[in-house]
């Protein structure tokens, strides 16, 4: 009986182990995916390819962002000239030869949105998105933009730190930071809301505070002059 159990136990462990191994490698495979530009690809990326091909005399038509047969022919002749396999598809080697290596590692796949949005100048937007995802993900869309706008209004206000990270990580300023919800992966709507706020949309009316009147007991914040209400939040000066 005991031996049988032990056997079962070992079998179970082995299965678990194999599954974990499988899952981790699978995940890696998804993350390492390289971008390939061909028929039906993102028009802006195709446009960049077309522009370079045109500049270098391989392509003589409109830069329309559509990967048609003319673009394919142009890619093929470019590949032949550069000793690449003339398959008419822009893989990493072709993109590199085209001087567009920045396009290679942006896997526009839904599973890895993080890399798509976190890169370069957008890192502050991502932090902002994390914060509003933790603070206001159940709120209407303009309510999420408003919370992001409050953070940006604080950056510009003399009574607060002068950077997005400074405002977000100020001790006790946001519940989502205190309880760690900020580290959840933000939803797409939070990412767009953060970017909208950075682009200048501010439904909060220039607010620097907000609270939920149902849960807030802080007398000081309740005494601030109210600007407006969006969803469950009250925004104030």
Partner 1 sequence: MSKNVIIGVLVVALAVAGFIGFQQNEDKTVYRTQLENTYQYNFQALLTTVKNIETNMSKAMISSSDSMSIELLSDVWRQSDLAQNYLSRLPLGHRVLKDTETFLNKLSNFSYAMAKINMNGKKLNDDQQADLERLKNSSTYLLQQLNTMNEQIQQGEVKFSSDDINQAREQLDEASDNLVTKGFTAVDKEMVDYPKLIYDGPFSDHIEDIKPKGLKGDKVTKEDGEEKVKEFMGDEIESIESSEKSEGVITTFMYNLNLKDKEENGYIEISENGGNVLKFMKNRLPDEQKISMEEAQKKADDYLKEIGYVDMVNTYHEKYSNTGVFNYAYSQDDVVVYADLIKIQIALDDGEVLGLEAQGFHMAHHNRKIEEAEITLEDAKENLSTRLEVTSERLALIPTEFETEVLCYEFKGTYKNEMYIIYVNAKTGKEQQILKIIEGDESVLTL
H-helix segments, 87-217: 92-97, 113-118, 123-136, 141-156, 164-168, 175-178, 188-199
Cβ 193 to partner 1, closest distance in Å? Answer: 9
Q: Which of positions 4-23 make contact with partner 1 (CB under 8 A)?
A: none
Cβ 142 to partner 1, closest distance in Å? Answer: 4
First to last CA, the chain: 72
> Residue 77 or residue 106: which is nearer to partner 1 going by CB?
106
The angle that helices 141-156 and 188-199 make with each other, rounded to 10 degrees, is 50
Asked if residue 69 binds partner 1 (CB under 8 A), the reply is no
Asked if residue 229 binds partner 1 (CB under 8 A), the reply is yes
Asked if residue 215 binds partner 1 (CB under 8 A), the reply is no
- The two most distant CA atoms of the chain are separated, in Å, by 79
Q: CA–CA separation, 28 vs 20, rounded Å?
A: 12
**Partners of residue 226 on adjacent β-strands:** 236
Q: Which of positions 125-154 make contact with partner 1 (CB under 8 A)?
A: 125, 140-142, 145
Sign, CA torsion 49/52/56/60: positive
| Binder of partner 1 out of 27, 44, 55, 175 (CB under 8 A) | 44
Could you count the other beta carbons within 10 Å of the beta carbon of residue 230? Answer: 23
Binding string, residues 177-206; x marks residues near partner 1 by CB under 8 A: -----------xx-xx--xx--xxxxxxxx
User: In a 3-state reduction of DSSP, which class is residue 211?
Assistant: strand
Interface residues toward partner 1, by CB under 8 A: 42-44, 46-47, 63-65, 102-103, 106, 117, 119-122, 125, 140-142, 145, 156, 158-162, 166, 170-173, 188-189, 191-192, 195-196, 199-207, 218, 220, 225-230, 235, 237
């Amino acid at each position: 009986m005991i031996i049988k159990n032990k056997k079962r136990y070992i079998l179970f462990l082995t299965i678990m182990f194999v599954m974990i191994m499988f899952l981790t490698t699978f995940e890696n495979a998804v993350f390492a995916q390289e971008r390939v530009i061909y028929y039906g690809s993102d028009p802006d990326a195709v446009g960049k390819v077309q522009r370079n091909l045109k500049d270098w005399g391989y392509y003589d038509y409109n830069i329309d962002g559509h990967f048609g047969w003319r673009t394919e022919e142009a890619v093929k002749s470019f590949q032949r000239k550069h000793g690449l396999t003339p398959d008419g598809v822009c893989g990493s080697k072709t993109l590199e030869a085209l001087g567009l290596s920045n396009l290679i590692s942006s896997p526009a796949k839904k599973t890895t949105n993080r890399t798509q949005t976190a890169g370069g100048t957008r890192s502050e937007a991502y932090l902002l998105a994390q914060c509003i995802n933790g603070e206001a993900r159940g709120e209407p869309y303009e309510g999420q933009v408003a919370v992001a706008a409050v953070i940006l209004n604080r950056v510009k206000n003399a009574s607060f730190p002068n950077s997005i990270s400074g405002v977000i990580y100020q001790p006790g300023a946001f519940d989502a930071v205190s309880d760690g919800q900020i580290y959840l992966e933000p939803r797409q709507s939070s990412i767009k809301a953060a970017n909208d706020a950075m682009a200048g949309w501010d439904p909060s009316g220039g607010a620097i505070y907000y609270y939920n009147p149902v849960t807030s007991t802080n007398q000081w914040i309740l005494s601030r002059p109210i600007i407006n209400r969006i969803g469950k939040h009250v925004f104030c000066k």
